[in-house]
Chain A
């Protein structure tokens, strides 16, 4: 488990997620990977009957990073709209907010 990485433009410093081929801000084609940093949960929802192994409800959120991008992540039960969070990315591909 490590912090989620996003792309950042080497020219204008705009950041984005998921991966793109060109900066949506200034059009530059050179970028670096940087840690996502902090963000705020803007919406959350319980997904009932998800295709999870146990079929248990899953809590998802839409997180606006301070760096700009909006990321869809899995929320811990006690994390809801308005909360400040950081994002982890596991080998299983799950982005988690904590």
Chain B
């Protein structure tokens, strides 16, 4: 993507484990939208593009949301790519503002999924799931990623304490994020003693489902008049969909296919990133993405976890990630973008990485039958 698509504002509607009665998805998305516009210093009247990803917006669609928000548009998009939707919407929104199809695009993602709605979502995720997994019953994606984690542990010689190191480090970051639903320190002993969800995954390996939403505002670089805070440039962005026909073991994502082109377009590499947000639906998947993107270099994964992640020398998922901050349904990917923008604008409070200028954000999702089939990543850079 040419370097003139910018993120000029971001916001997050408060993540909550148990939302009050009367909560609805559109209202949560609106909360995130107003916060993002406020942070951009832009009036809602200037919005002429809208993108939204949500599993629970129905029966409404994007146009109904536009009407409820009272925005008058010439560009509209509804995205169904789950954990990869944020990078996908950012790609489309960036192209739209570059081409002049819109000047100011509001990108939203979020969900309110009470227990019954969440169960329906996971059991009717797609036809393969509805027909072949839900009847088992399979208990949602936890069991699929439990078996993927077994493959991962065997391939890399990891044990539960290695995955715990990532989870514990993210919880340490979360301590400084008032928006994270779990902020109290987590010890290895607590992790190892925690109830097993689907072996080897325990409750701390599985994202807490929350109600919440995230938002960003995308503009072209020549439409930045009035912005008080530094804009964030989209330096490079790539996506892949169904890269392997689901014929693999799930231990590589499409990020391994796009990494070379992504870094070349960005004119940078993993070592140049001040902060990194990968899609942590499960610890193994966060590690897979870091591996696919080339963060390990010549190092072994086990040593990388200890030296870079457990020590927090490499700032990864500084919000606490979804594992500690929560997973607000389809907002899982946009959560990482919002955290990256906060870091690059110096607005990350007690978890601020000093002088952060460049960020990598990855998205991953949409389990077709055994593992996710969508993946994408973007390199973001503070403009000034």
Contact = CB atoms under 8 A, between A and B. Distances in A.
Interface residues of A, number: 26
Nearest to B242: A24
Contacts of A48: 195-198
Interface string B140-169: 001110110011000000000000000000
B8 interface: no
B150 A45 contact: yes
Contacts of B135: 92-94
A43 B151 contact: yes
B247 A72 contact: no
B260 to A, nearest CB: 24
Counting chain B CB atoms within 10 Å of each CB, the highest count among A60, A61, A74 belongs to A60
B21 interface: no
Q: Which of the four size classes fits the interface of chain B? A: 20 to 34
Contacts, number: 77
B369 A51 contact: no
Contacts of B133: 72
B198 A18 contact: no
Interface string B115-150: 000010001000110011111111100111011001
A52 B137 contact: yes
B307 interface: no
Counting chain A CB atoms within 10 Å of each CB, the highest count among B134, B137, B245 belongs to B137
Counting chain A CB atoms within 10 Å of each CB, the highest count among B123, B198, B369 belongs to B198
A28 interface: no
A24 B188 CA distance: 43
A67 interface: no
Nearest to A18: B128
Nearest to B134: A93
A74 B147 CA distance: 13
A1 to B, nearest CB: 13
Contacts of B199: 45-46
A24 to B, nearest CB: 4
Interface in B299-339: none
Counting chain B CB atoms within 10 Å of each CB, the highest count among A47, A61, A70, A95 belongs to A47
Contacts of B132: 18, 72, 93, 95
Counting chain B CB atoms within 10 Å of each CB, the highest count among A24, A50, A74 belongs to A50
9 contacts: A18-B132, A24-B245, A47-B198, A50-B137, A60-B198, A74-B136, A93-B131, A93-B132, A93-B134
Interface of A: 18-19, 24, 42-52, 58, 60-62, 70, 72-74, 92-95
